[in-house]
Amino acid sequence: MLEQQRNRFWPWTAPLEEWLVLLTLAACASFLGSAVRYIRDSLDRRKRPIATYCLLGFVIGPSLMAATWASELLILEGESRFRPETMAAVCFLAGIFVKESWNYISKLGRRHFAE
What are the residue boundaries of the structural domains of the chain, listed by start? 17-110
Q: Which pLDDT band holds residue 72 (cuts at 50, 70, 90)?
A: low
Query: Tell me: the pLDDT tens digits for 7-52?
Result: 777 777 777 777 787 888 888 888 888 888 888 888 887 877 777 7
Q: Which pLDDT band holds residue 74 (cuts at 50, 70, 90)?
A: low
Q: What is the pLDDT of residue 81?
A: 61
Phi/psi at 77 (nearest 5 deg)? -140, 125
Instruction: Specify the pTM.
Output: 0.65
Query: Tell me: the pLDDT tens digits for 47-70?
Result: 777 777 778 888 888 887 777 666
Q: What is the pLDDT of residue 112?
A: 79
Q: What is the pLDDT of residue 107?
A: 85
CB-CB contact of 75 with 90 (8 Å): yes
Strand extents, DSSP E, the chain = 76-77, 81-82
Amino acid at 112: H
Instruction: Give the distance from CA 24 to its chain's centroid.
Output: 9
The Cα–Cα gap between 19 and 70 comes to 13
Nearest alpha-carbon partner for 25 in 75, 70, 71: 75
Query: Tell me: the pLDDT tens digits for 78-110?
Result: 555 667 777 788 888 888 888 887 788 788 788
CA torsion sign, 96 to 99 to 100 to 101? positive
CA distance readout (Å), 40 to 14, 48, 89, 97, 106: 36, 11, 18, 12, 23
